[in-house]
A and B are shown apart, each in its own frame.
Chain A
Amino acid sequence: MKYKGITYSYVVYAFTFFLAPLLLILFYSLTASDGGSVSFTLENFTRFFDFSNPQYMKVLGNSFRIAGIATLLCLLLGYPMAYILASLKPRLRAFLSLLFILPMWMNFLLRTYAWMSLLETNGIINTLLSKLGLPALQIMYTEKAVILGMVYNFLPFMILPIYNTLIKLDPSLLNASDDLGASPWQTFTRVTLPLSKPAILSGINMVFMPSVTTFVISRLLGGSSTALIGDIIEKQFKLVDDKGFGSAMSVIIMIFVFGLVALTREKDSEEVSL
């Protein structure tokens, strides 16, 4: 009884801030509005999946590819970082994990702008390189810069869940593996890695999802050369004023991401129950 009020307020909150916007997007995506009259249509979706002109599908594929590369890099960088961090003495560990989190206190846009001034043709890095007599880097407004921006911005989302799992790892399980004859490397691959798998999957989701939908990073660091699906969606709302098509693309991307999440989840639970 005591908690009923809280439960209701949560339901109201969830409806207003999660469900309602979702339903609104779904509504926009399935309707066409011509001067006040609203009619049901699938036209927004067929336009996206137009195989004679697959430009939108190409952008979607490209977004998935770039986000995939960024996620993979985050995993390859993040796991060892989390592992090293977790194996440190508590005091040093607290200090270093603060260093990882500290940039996140700064605004996301500011951090991305900072990379612009670092990477620009006459930016800080190139100025330094030329002073050292080295050739200048030309990665600004390329795919590489976008991937760099994604890895930089989303790496903490990979490190944190893995780090949190690793510090809570039951040392007796590692001792048991050691006891049963496993070398330190075998213990890592056969015990630590399987135990941190849920964290890896959640890290992948946490990095992949914002990467695939971002439009800030691609616009600031990729310029016009690397348009991601997020940029196209944003344009539909802000430039073209085609809410229907923009919403349809949002729905499509949501379905894809949802499918991916479901896939990793299912595979995970399968292996646990095996």
Chain B
Amino acid sequence: MANNNIIELVNVTKSFDGDIVLDHINLKIKDGEFITLLGPSGCGKTTTLRIIGGFLYPDSGSVFFDGKNITNVPPYKRHLNTVFQKYALFPFLNVYENVAFGLRIKKLPEAKIRAKVLEMLELVNLVGFEKRGVTALSGGQQQRVAIARALANEPDVLLLDEPLGALDLKLRKAMQIELKRIQQQADITFIYVTHDQEEALTMSDTIVVMNKGHIQQIGSPESVYNEPVNAFVADFIGESNQLDGIMLEDYRVEFNGRVYQCVDKGFAKREPIEVVIRPEDLKLCRPEEGNIVGVVKSCVFMGANFSIEVEQGDYTWTAHSIHYAQPGDTIGLYLEPDAIHIMKEFDNDDAYPDDPEEELLPPEEEEEK
């Protein structure tokens, strides 16, 4: 194929016992990228991964691998490997034999197996652990063995199903950096599934935000964070202030009893919309300088900054600041026009196209079948 898409899902639909888990998913994954499927539990991210891995077959739609249709190819014939949620290491084999498992299946000569296993253990920083039983390892070490075992087969794509879920926070942070390093060193595609938005933002080249069997947004971490296409994405990725508003005309929006300048246009006159504002975009200032004025309800120290709740009429804003604010004081918050994100009302989460780069699917096609 002319393009460099290693994996392509076309109209993939899957349901379990009549519940639609994936609804006409279209997704293109570029060769060599670190892509994360992000979403709350039940959004279909793991199902998508299992369909790519071959452990589930879609009800309809196709899976392409390097241009070839692999929809009905069993896992053991696919050139991709998986790191399972709970690692799935073979308890009756030691570290060396676990990593060597796939190589022995291929019946490689012993010397080659040895070289490859040692190379992999070096990649995941586990040299010297060859003879250890896997059940005696810590979670982080088991994790590394699982990655080494999967990479030993030299897959073109590595699938990772919430691989850091069982680790403690500190180890998880360390492994995030480690995984990114391994991905760059091995120079292959990683498809990563997680519900942790921070994890997704840290590691990914591309994030695919999913909800209820639909892809909500595909983009770089920056674009998904800064330009969420809808309130779900805005809410799921990072903290946000969300409130209803009315788009009076182009560049003019009204919410919480005041009219603001904004950078959005193209809505109908007086169209009801949703406004999303990131807490760090609300700047603390004196009441007379602010375009929002309210009373400080609380101020909580978060480590790097303070999380400040400011009550303005019916709405309570959340702002992040490195400055302390005294609860009970009246303060101002200043809002730049480009900090105001306007999105269409979030009434129907089926109403979003699967891929902004794809041609927009007409809604009738989504309801088919």
Contacts and interface: CB of A to CB of B under 8 A. Distances in A.
Interface of A: 170, 172-173, 175-183, 186, 190-191, 194-195, 197, 271-274
A181 B54 CA distance: 12
Contacts of A181: 76, 102, 105-106, 153
Nearest to B102: A180
B75 A179 contact: yes
B149 interface: yes
Interface in B60-106: 74-76, 81-82, 84-86, 88-92, 94, 101-102, 105-106
Given A180-B149, A180-B153, 4 more contacts: A173-B90, A179-B75, A180-B81, A190-B105
Contacts of A194: 90, 92
Contacts of A177: 90, 101
Contacts of B301: none
A176 B105 contact: no
Given A175-B75, A175-B84, A180 B94 contact: no
B44 interface: no
Nearest to B159: A179
A179 B92 contact: no
B84 A176 contact: yes
B219 interface: no
Interface string B116-147: 00000000000000000100000000000000
B53 interface: yes
A40 to B, nearest CB: 48
B55 interface: yes
29 contacts: A170-B88, A172-B84, A172-B85, A172-B86, A175-B75, A175-B84, A176-B89, A176-B149, A177-B90, A177-B101, A178-B55, A178-B75, A178-B76, A179-B76, A179-B150, A180-B76, A180-B81, A180-B101, A180-B105, A180-B150, A182-B101, A183-B76, A190-B105, A194-B90, A195-B92, A197-B92, A271-B92, A272-B92, A274-B94
A180 B90 CA distance: 12
A177 B81 CA distance: 10
Contacts of A173: 88, 90
A272 B133 contact: yes
A250 B102 CA distance: 50
B361 to A, nearest CB: 32
Nearest to B97: A274
Contacts of B55: 175, 178-179
Nearest to A174: B88
A191 B106 CA distance: 16
A273 B238 CA distance: 47
Interface string B21-55: 00000000000000000000000000000000111
Contacts of A179: 53, 55, 75-76, 81-82, 150
A73 B104 CA distance: 32
Contacts of B133: 272-273
B105 A175 contact: no
B163 to A, nearest CB: 12
A272 B97 CA distance: 12
Nearest to A191: B90
A182 B88 CA distance: 15
B74 A178 contact: yes
Nearest to B77: A181
Given A181-B76, A181-B102, A181-B105, A175 B92 contact: no
A194 B76 CA distance: 20
Nearest to A182: B105
